[in-house]
Amino acid sequence: MAAISSLSLKTPTKIQSLTKTHYAIPLNLPFSCRSKSKRTGSIGSRTRIRCGLLIEPDGGKLVELFVEESQRELKREDALKLPKIKLTKIDLEWVHVLSEGWASPLKGFMREDEFLQTLHFNSIRLEDGSVVNMSVPIVLAIDDSQKNLIGGSSSVALVDDENNPIAILSDIEIYKHNKEERIARTWGTTAPGLPYVDEAITHSGNWLIGGDLKVIDPVKYNDGLDRFRLSPAELRDEFTRRNADAVFAFQLRNPVHNGHALLMTDTRRRLLEMGYKNPVLLLHPLGGYTKADDVPLHWRMKQHEKVLEDGVLDPETTVVSIFPSPMHYAGPTEVQWHAKARINAGANFYIVGRDPAGMSHPLEKRDLYDADHGKKVLSMAPGLERLNILPFRVAAYDKTKNGMAFFDPSRPQDFIFISGTKMRTLAKTKESPPDGFMCPGGWKVLVEYYDSLDQAENGGVSETVPA
Amino acid sequence: MAAISSLSLKTPTKIQSLTKTHYAIPLNLPFSCRSKSKRTGSIGSRTRIRCGLLIEPDGGKLVELFVEESQRELKREDALKLPKIKLTKIDLEWVHVLSEGWASPLKGFMREDEFLQTLHFNSIRLEDGSVVNMSVPIVLAIDDSQKNLIGGSSSVALVDDENNPIAILSDIEIYKHNKEERIARTWGTTAPGLPYVDEAITHSGNWLIGGDLKVIDPVKYNDGLDRFRLSPAELRDEFTRRNADAVFAFQLRNPVHNGHALLMTDTRRRLLEMGYKNPVLLLHPLGGYTKADDVPLHWRMKQHEKVLEDGVLDPETTVVSIFPSPMHYAGPTEVQWHAKARINAGANFYIVGRDPAGMSHPLEKRDLYDADHGKKVLSMAPGLERLNILPFRVAAYDKTKNGMAFFDPSRPQDFIFISGTKMRTLAKTKESPPDGFMCPGGWKVLVEYYDSLDQAENGGVSETVPA
């Protein structure tokens, strides 16, 4: 922790303007570890990934849950004979998350013992006595009629809207879904209006079904963004290819402004000072379910692209990829999940901001969580001891520099704080933020997004997706 | 766990009638460890208790928080100069609990880092990296005016109703009391009507104050029962004096019937079979706050006394003592606290029943917790790995034996289940339970208790306390 403290206490340097502009997505690179593991792995086997100097996955192994390619047809036929559970959009996102090993060492949707440990301890004890972090329940709900349909079968097929089999869940266990308790222990409130609860829990079934998951075909969304959805194994390969000796992850679900960029650039500088030779940034926007007033993934990706094009971040030392998890907005509980999943992707440093995964209280005029609890809970969380937590330093608009800078409490009058709400209001009303708040290309994307919303409200296109 | 499984799977033997009738309270025995530690301990020191073969306290040391006797007057005078916090009845019970080391290694009311770990992880990581269980927040609430009164002082005096100083809290930390979050994460619900919440949280202050506690005089209630309130150190001494090589704890807050007695006797028999030479039972009724419809402590103690007098339990191998904690009724969360505190008192086996620390949902027609979750959560809880969990076997009235016996699923028609509610109803209406359900002396106490309630309702004495 000494290193972390010094990292957040030292004075900042000014952000450097960088000129390279291409997106740092290694799409055409050989993914030796991934390709190899997927080709040679048999059903039920786990693949041990050890790429260079990277942090080990939780449980020592990255658990990928794909049916071996040669077995896919066979499994598809098997699936057709099994009782079927139709997946919602969010269920499918969790299938995606589980299948790629973000939740390693989980082998499928949680059984009751994993669910209870998650709710009560935010962690799971493994057979060898070691503990891994697991703070958010990854569960599949079914209703009475589905439960009856399953009867005594020990396996079920998970199918999409059109009854295409996506995966098989075997050695199943069905147990009660106490929604109230799940919500209270995950969110620390049961107030109506929690987005994930409204979307995925309130109307879900009264039972949960856990078991071992095997995904027949890797989940794809065919939305033009699949190429940005690198799995943990692919990310590990990429970090290894770049000879990264430190990987620092930045989770985001908002447009990147120059304050973020300052933080990320400064973090790299400090890691270099600590003696690392090649720290690589994982800029990792969340790609699953988000609430209605968040900027949609497509627009955010377009905005991030512009930020890289404008040279605000160095593509040589930045990997931009999509984190496929849905968003809970569960503050200190969820930030642990965000951090833990990045360990599995090879990150050994995690940048945590003010009020991570937080939101306003649905009923009261206050934030749902204390803004400092996220980083405090994260720094004490069981199973995350190996991860270096980097607390976010507050950046604000410095009027004396006409740009974003770390806040200097000795001269508060020089700084303007531009909140997410303020930023959105400016973009909606087509006002410009102060020069240097965000690169012009990135800002333009935001304005376009809110424009498209206006058009939709006025009877135009419902949601224009940027190319 | 193999030993435990065999313990709960083997067939039961019939309970033996025992003839010794005295209460197993070792009041006049030399408590060498305790006396020594209290006399030689300086302020701020912790006393390491190692009595024979007993399980080590959490954190390796039993943390007693008493001011050294020679320093009491001095500290009392110091306290009079400090800002004063008036303790409620439940606050005082927690001061008692903390001072005797039931919550070892806690050194006082929780600071925020301990509070957050308790809420999120049900456990606390110590400086050496080891983990102790801690599932229930032990916190002290203050309101705005008290916070203002404290100002910049680093210590406060904790005083009783009449402003007598009870303890000093030093190196204090004041932080926000988010009641909704505390309740949701502790109880898994925020439904109105939770007894402890109504009694101790809803109307408490919006701040929590943590710090190092030093109690000036050991807490006494002067209710005729103080002699039954043995501290963890005293219990350890007693177990050592008896040459116990296993201590099995039974937490209760209800009258003891012959089903309980069967279980306890049978547990001892099985521990002997496992090779222990002298297993001792800690029969440990909870003595702090309980909800209005529970049988009050005085009546329960009288009932327990009759049960021992009637020879249902062997006083030679039974220690009856009062556990001073208040009751949360927080099910799987609270049962961990009940178990952890008994480790500190020297117990290495803990008997856990169906729906421990459970109650009805305050609003819905169901139990608040799944009846099996308590023992499941307990068996997986961080920091309790050293404790052997003994799941309660279901006992019921066996009509073929005219007595309580372990339920035999092959002949369900022979058994009658008599719930706590049923038992209370019978006692209230002065009906007799079946012969052999409870020893006659114990039943008589129960009937007397409900009689006294009737008298109170009809304008008689409000609560007759048995001698």
**Nearest by CB: B188 against A176, A184, A377:** A184
Residue type, B211: G
Burial B283-312 (b: 16+ CB within 10 A, else e): bbbbbbbbeeebbbbbbbbbbbbbbbbbbb
* Residue A185 at interface with chain B, using a CB cutoff of 8 Å: yes
Q: Please give the pLDDT value at position B246.
A: 97
**Nearest by CB: A178 against B121, B131, B370:** B370
- Helix, strand, or coil here: A277? coil
DSSP of B349-393, one letter per residue? EEEE-SSTT--B-SSSSSBSS-TTHHHHHHHH-TT-TTSEEEEPP
pTM of the model: 0.88
Q: Please give the pLDDT value at position A32.
A: 26
Query: Are B382 and A380 within 8 A, CB to CB?
Result: no
**Nearest by CB: A332 against B120, B332, B369:** B120
Q: Which of A10-19, A250-259, B182-191 has the lowest mean pLDDT?
A: A10-19
Q: Please give the pLDDT value at position A52.
A: 55
For residue A320, pLDDT over 90 is answered with: yes
**Nearest by CB: B113 against A135, A180, A376:** A376
C-alpha span between A9 and B145 (Å, rounded): 35
Q: Once rounded to an integer, what is the mean pLDDT over residues B188-213?
A: 98
Query: Are B332 and A370 within 8 A, CB to CB?
Result: no
* Residue A184 at interface with chain B, using a CB cutoff of 8 Å: yes
Q: Please give the pLDDT value at position A286.
A: 98
C-alpha span between B124 and B138 (Å, rounded): 13
Confidence of residue B459 (pLDDT cuts 50, 70, 90): low
Distance from CA of A377 to the nearest CA of B (A): 7
What confidence tens digit (pLDDT) does each residue in A310-319 have? 888 899 999 9
Q: Which of A3-7, A456-460, B226-230 has the lowest mean pLDDT?
A: A3-7
Contacts of A184 in chain B (CB under 8 A): 184-185, 187-190
Q: Once rounded to an integer, what is the mean pLDDT over residues A280-300?
A: 96
ipTM metric:
0.88
The Cβ-side half-sphere exposure at A315, using a 13 Å CA radius, reads: 16
Q: Please give the pLDDT value at position A3.
A: 30
Query: Are A125 and B187 within 8 A, CB to CB?
Result: no
Q: Please give the pLDDT value at position A215.
A: 98
Contact B102, B65 (CB under 8 A): no
Q: Once rounded to an integer, what is the mean pLDDT over residues A449-467?
A: 66
What confidence tens digit (pLDDT) does each residue in B114-136 have? 999 999 999 999 999 999 999 99
Contacts of A369 in chain B (CB under 8 A): 181
Confidence of residue B33 (pLDDT cuts 50, 70, 90): very low
Residue type, A106: L
Contacts of A135 in chain B (CB under 8 A): 120
Q: Please give the pLDDT value at position A30.
A: 25
For residue B1, pLDDT over 60 is answered with: no
Q: Please give the pLDDT value at position A459.
A: 64
Contact A131, A383 (CB under 8 A): yes
Confidence of residue A28 (pLDDT cuts 50, 70, 90): very low
**Nearest by CB: B121 against A112, A122, A191:** A122
Q: Please give the pLDDT value at position A428.
A: 87
Q: Please give the pLDDT value at position B312.
A: 87
Residue of chain B whose Cα is closest to the Cα of A133 = B121
Percent of chain A surpassing pLDDT 70: 87
Per-residue 3-state assignment (H helix, E strand, C coil) for A203-267? CCCCEEEEEEEEECCCCCCCCCCHHHCCCHHHHHHHHHHCCCCEEEEEEECCCCCHHHHHHHHHH
Contact A325, A92 (CB under 8 A): no
Query: Are A185 and B188 within 8 A, CB to CB?
Result: yes
Name which of A117, A120, A340, A385 to mutate to probe chain B: the one with the most chain B Cβ atoms within 10 A of its Cβ. A120
Q: What is the edge-to-edge ordering of all strands in the sheet holding B141-142?
A: B84-86, B156-159, B165-176, B207-215, B141-142
Q: Once rounded to an integer, what is the mean pLDDT over residues A123-142?
A: 97
Query: Most confidently modeled of A418-422, B94-98, B416-420?
Result: B94-98
Q: Residues 401-420, chain A: which have Cβ within 8 Å of B?
A: none
* Residue B131 at interface with chain A, using a CB cutoff of 8 Å: yes
Q: Please give the pLDDT value at position A20.
A: 28
Q: Please give the pLDDT value at position B420.
A: 78
Q: Nearest 5 degrees, angle CA A279-CA A281-CA A287?
A: 155
